[in-house]
Amino acid sequence: MTRLSRMTAFVLLWAAALAVPTAVAQTPLPDPLAELHARVAAQEAELQQLRLRLDQQPVYGPIPIAPSYCDDGGELRRLPVVCDVPGSSCCEGAQPPTEHVMKWYVTYDDGFVVRPFDPDENPYEVKFGGWGQFRYVGFARDAETWTDNAGVTRPIRNRNEFEVERARLHLSGYAIDKRLTYYILMDGDTDGADLVDFFYYWWAWEFGEGQKAYFGKRKVAACRQWLLSSRNCRLIDRPMATDFFRPDRSVGVFGETKLGENGFLEVMLGDGYRTQTTDPSSIDSKLAFAATSYWDPFGDYGLSITDYSHTQTPLVRLGHSFVYAPNSGITIGQPIGESDFIRLTDGTRMTEIGALAPGVTLSEFSVYLYAMDFGAKWNGWSFDAEFYMRWIENLKANGPLPVDNLYQHGYFVEGGYFLIPERLDANIRYSYVTGLYGNCDEYGAGVSIYPCDTRHLKISFDVTKVNGSPLNNTSSGILVGDDGILFRSQLQAEF
């Protein structure tokens, strides 16, 4: 090769070498960063679509937003739960998964609650709860028999037994409208032949704050200790005087309202004084009227008569109650079932043959009851009392009676102190009943233990000296004519 040829070849090779980077630069290569940007953009578009879907859903009730998202705590919101409902994938032409918005959720609020996210759109709520008392009852008699005013002698028995008392389930909530509420309470116990009774069933309409009208079956509005729940008794059950004078439950119309900041009034017009399980054929044609009212001058007294919460400021409740209940018989001398509840102060049933005069049966009378109550609690200490006056007028019988009317009265006083706050509570009680045909009393003491950090579990023990009983109450374990010592222990739990 000539020298010129060699130089020409060298120049051509040099030019080709310089052209290679330019060609490479002009050829597009994959860019990882650009691909990452594309993915981020796609995800942002997807998130934007999700935000739009959430914005179209209403905002409900409160759940806290995490403080890290907002220094001042943020506003409280509740978001609906959205779930995917899978479609079938085994068939040709199957539909893709569909979206379903949950309208209700389940939570616990002194009972298990099925609650709507939006109560305005879905005004239906139901709460399930219950409680029960497993109890031991022992009674050691001081006398073998007792004789009533009709001259009938009956035995007094020693007792030694376990029982289930007040095994209860309740349902409550609202339906159709948030102002339309309902309540159902079912009760069963071993001393009631294991039968289930519907103690409450009512609908209520809320007219305004603290103003309601009830339609159905409830407690007759009288006697403070009776109106408070038996879960909150100071000893294992209510005082003897309360059980002797109190009315029971009745079907009727009830109304309640707040009076000022800390006042309360309830009135009732119902079938009778005590028509708890009375069938319609045993109810007379006369209605009963009742009213109760209280005032808490230093703030809300609450539902408990003991001071579990160890209140730092004194709380006081002043109240009174009134009942008027006329009773008529089928005919003179033939009482109807509704009137079987009233007893003389020695325990004789008033409608028993010979209760007021030999061979004479009382069939018609009118009952007037007035009660005054007082309660106070502070710093673990608590005290309550109630005084009862009952007039039985307009007596009608199938023969002459030695009296035109009867007056009975009685009271109880009780108090206690939490020796260990929210753990150990000690209490004492005295109760008294008197009238034309005798007097009876009781005095007792007991302790309650709260083993867990809640008042929903309680273990109680008490001892009561009964000096003649004017009532027959299997719930309290005090039977008519009892004279002796009553021992009780109880495990009470609720949810």
Whole-number Å distance between alpha carbons of 180 and 171: 14
Sequence-distant (6+) residues with CB within 8 A of 270 are: 220, 250, 251, 252, 253, 254, 287, 288, 290
Cα dist from 239 to 96, 224, 248, 302, 413, whole Å: 67, 12, 15, 20, 9
Name the nearest CA neighbour of 131 among 167, 161, 155: 167
Residue 80 is encoded by which pair of tokens? 């609906």
Sequence-distant (6+) residues with CB within 8 A of 408 are: 245, 345, 388, 389, 390, 392, 433, 434, 435, 436
Per DSSP, what are the bridge partners of residue 180?
205
Pairing of strands 406-420, 315-327: unpaired
Residue with tokens 């990882």: 32
Cα dist from 264 to 164, 257, 482, whole Å: 34, 6, 37
Whole-number Å distance between alpha carbons of 433 and 442: 9
Residue 402 is encoded by which pair of tokens? 């030695």
Whole-number Å distance between alpha carbons of 413 and 429: 6
What pLDDT sits at residue 15? Answer: 52
Q: Would you list the DSSP string of 97-139?
A: PEEEEE-EEEEESSSEEEEES-TTTS-EEEEEEEEEEEEEEEE
Whole-number Å distance between alpha carbons of 197 and 470: 25
Q: Would you list the DSSP string of 415-446?
A: EEEEEETTTEEEEEEEEEEEETTEEEEEEEEE
What pLDDT sits at residue 467? Answer: 97
Whole-number Å distance between alpha carbons of 100 and 478: 58
Domain ranges of the chain: 106-494
What pLDDT sits at residue 14? Answer: 46
Sequence-distant (6+) residues with CB within 8 A of 490 are: 133, 134, 135, 136, 165, 236, 458, 459, 460, 461
- Cβ atoms of 341 and 248 within 8 Å: the answer is yes
Q: pTM here?
A: 0.80
Whole-number Å distance between alpha carbons of 375 and 380: 14
- Cβ atoms of 200 and 182 within 8 Å: the answer is no
Topology of 106-494 in CATH? Porin (2.40.160)
pLDDT tens digit at each of 495 positions of the chain:
544 455 555 545 545 544 444 444 444 545 667 777 777 777 777 777 767 666 655 444 444 433 434 445 555 555 556 665 555 555 566 565 566 778 899 999 999 999 999 999 999 999 999 999 999 999 999 999 999 999 999 999 999 999 999 999 999 999 999 999 999 999 998 987 778 888 999 999 999 988 999 999 999 999 999 999 999 999 999 999 999 999 999 999 999 999 999 999 999 999 999 888 788 878 888 999 999 999 999 999 999 999 999 999 999 999 999 999 999 888 887 787 777 789 999 999 999 999 999 999 999 999 999 999 999 999 999 999 999 999 999 999 999 999 999 999 999 999 999 999 999 999 999 999 999 999 999 999 999 999 999 999 999 999 999 999 999 999 999 999 999 999 999 999 999
Task: Give how far the C-alpha of residue 292 lies from the chain's centroid of Cα atoms, to the nearest Å.
Answer: 19
Sequence-distant (6+) residues with CB within 8 A of 37 are: none
